[in-house]
Amino acid sequence: MITPVILCGGSGTRLWPLSRKSYPKQFVPLVGEQTLFQGSAVRMKGDQFAKPVVITNSDFRFIVTEQLQAVGIDPGAILIEPEGRNTAPAVLAAALYLQKNDPDAVMLVAPSDHVVPDTKAFQAAVAAGMKAVKEGKLVTFGITPTHAETAYGYLELTTQSDGDPVALKQFVEKPNEIRAQEMLDAGNYLWNAGIFLFSVKDIIAAFEQHSPDLLPPVAQAMETGHVDLGFCRLGPDAWSEAEDISIDYAVMEKADNLSVVPFNSGWSDLGGWDAVWRESPKGDNGVLTSGEATAIDCEDTLLRSDSERLEVVGIGLKNIMAVAMNDAVLVADMSRAQDVKKAVEALKAKNADQATMFPKDHRPWGWFESLVIGDRFQVKRIHVHPGAALSLQSHHHRAEHWIVVSGTAEVTIDDKVQLVTENQSVFIPLGAVHRMRNPGKVPMVLIEVQTGSYLGEDDIIRYEDVYSRGQGAKG
């Protein structure tokens, strides 16, 4: 069987403001009802696939499990990176993990944020790649280009192919427009999809030959890791010693046993809002609207609102993308889609929260969002999943008022436990040890009003937590 290895740690800054460091694009339903991460997992589900191994970070670990459960997938393992070190250490960690149980395992490595509409065609391409894997090849997948794209790296083939694996001549870095058009016209260049298929023993041997310095720290991080609520946390000290390098640079560009499987049935890494526009069904005149958006006399334009309270209206627009959220709005020419990351850098330079923080803060028990922030007060909406509970905690600088608007909350305040139902409220004095839990079978929603001299998320002391988060804003 083939074990899917899903890489799930990117930030997707080119899809700002919807994708941010705290909640990146792979967890968002950008095209269709499933998120990109869910789509990746479902695409690698079937009789020929084992349970997936997911590599992510601590902040995303509960989002990963929640979204997999929603599509009926039980992960084989979730490896937690202490910090991002690029794809080479992540792939090596997964290979070493699989080697312990099955040295002959085959792993299919894929990003979590790609769109591949034709699952059957994708699985057929994987089956074609298995022919080369059985011959000891490292297989990568190349996408038949549909236009002269400058945002992707390319694969130059030794010869053209109708779908069977062929030898790779060389990797080509992201080109300028002229070179991209030349490669498109040549016919033997494919987009580099960043999807790989190989046996565990062959990829470990490739690391030993081409990047031997990565093996000791990654192996040590595996040995010093520990299991935490079913997650496998890699050892942070050893992991920090691993080079920050991609699998392409570390191994693939140096190996001489590479094969490429061409794939021409539709693919996108959704690397910008222009890609979202291309991959989505559009209305008249090439207009794509999503959420509370209205287009009047527009052409080849994307209008999107991800706020129930914010209407986006475009009049007479052409080649424009406008994306609105509660706390940020992007408006740009479609041709500047790759420059959105410059906006993120500019916001970081001015210390704007919008650069990295998503309006909804997702936690293992649910999520919350700030509705109003003022001098010495803040109003939040809090959503708690059925059966979930916040940590037993206290605050140094704030008191809290909770008003339940949907469902029932079990509230602990010091030694008192009480049920608070719809339209009832409760007061949490400053310094009181408290907790809320949803004992019901439907989501519980409440409005929280905080008052005090400091309202930061790091003003929290945890005494008990079913999610073992430790101290800190998220733990």
Quick: pLDDT tens for 127-176: 999 999 999 999 999 998 988 888 889 999 988 767 788 888 889 999 99
Does some domain include residue 475? no
Q: Are residues 334 and 368 in the same domain?
A: no
CATH no. for residue 138?
Answer: 3.90.550.10
Number of domains present in the structure of the chain: 3
Does some domain include residue 238? yes
Rounded-to-5 percentages of helix, strand, coil across the chain: 25, 35, 40
Spell 243-255 as b/e; 16+ CB within 10 A means b: eebbbbbbbbeeb
Q: Are residues 381 and 314 in the same domain?
A: no
Structural domain ending residue among the three candidates 238, 263, 288: 263
Helix H or strand E segment including 211: none
Q: Are residues 423 and 320 in the same domain?
A: no
d(CA 109, CA 193): 11
Q: Are residues 392 and 249 in the same domain?
A: no
Does some domain include residue 469? no
Q: Which of 307, 268, 315 is nearest to 290 (CA)?
A: 307
Q: Are residues 244 and 343 in the same domain?
A: no
Cβ-Cβ contacts under 8 Å for 399 (sequence gap 6 or more): 427, 428, 429, 430, 450, 451, 452
d(CA 461, CA 430): 12
Answer yes or no: are the C-beta atoms of 203 and 214 closer than 8 Å.
no
Answer yes or no: are the C-beta atoms of 475 and 465 closer than 8 Å.
yes
Answer yes or no: are the C-beta atoms of 340 and 272 closer than 8 Å.
yes
Q: Are residues 248 and 280 in the same domain?
A: no
Phi, psi of 237 (to 5 degrees): -65, -50
Q: Are residues 255 and 321 in the same domain?
A: no
Q: Are residues 63 and 166 in the same domain?
A: yes
DSSP state of 453: S
Structural domain ending residue among the three candidates 350, 376, 401: 350
Does some domain include residue 474? no
Please provide the DSSP assignment of 142-194 as one string. EEPPSS--SSS-EEEESS--SSS-EEEEEEEPPP-HHHHHHHHHHS-EEEEEE
pLDDT tens-digit profile, the chain (475 residues): 999 999 998 777 899 999 998 889 999 888 888 999 999 999 999 999 999 999 999 889 889 999 999 999 988 899 999 999 999 999 999 999 999 989 999 999 999 999 998 999 999 999 999 999 999 999 999 998 988 888 889 999 988 767 788 888 889 999 999 999 998 998 889 999 999 999 999 999 999 999 999 999 999 999 999 988 789 999 999 999 999 999 999 999 999 999 999 998 888 888 899 999 998 999 889 999 999 999 999 999 999 999 888 999 999 999 999 999 999 999 999 999 999 999 999 999 999 999 998 888 899 999 999 999 999 999 999 999 999 999 999 999 999 999 999 999 999 999 999 999 999 999 999 999 999 999 999 999 999 999 999 998 889 999 999 888 777 666 4
Q: Are residues 389 and 253 in the same domain?
A: no
What is the pLDDT at residue 473? 62
Q: Which of 218, 246, 231 is nearest to 80 (CA)?
A: 231
Count of C-beta atoms within a 10 Å radius of residue 372? 9
d(CA 4, CA 207): 19
Phi, psi of 271 (to 5 degrees): -80, 10
CB-based burial label for 256 (10 Å; 0-12, 13-18, 19+): exposed
Answer yes or no: are the C-beta atoms of 398 and 451 closer than 8 Å.
yes
Q: Are residues 108 and 243 in the same domain?
A: yes
What is the pLDDT at residue 269? 85
Does some domain include residue 472? no
Q: How far is residue 130 CA from its own chain's centroid?
A: 27
- What domain range includes position 85? 2-263
What is the pLDDT at residue 472? 65
Q: Are residues 228 and 279 in the same domain?
A: no
Can you give the pTM of this predicted structure?
0.87
Q: Are residues 222 and 302 in the same domain?
A: no
What is the pLDDT at residue 319? 97
Structural domain ending residue among the three candidates 326, 350, 374: 350
Answer yes or no: are the C-beta atoms of 331 and 312 closer than 8 Å.
no
What is the pLDDT at residue 457? 87
Does some domain include residue 126? yes
What is the pLDDT at residue 237? 95
Amino acid found at 372: V
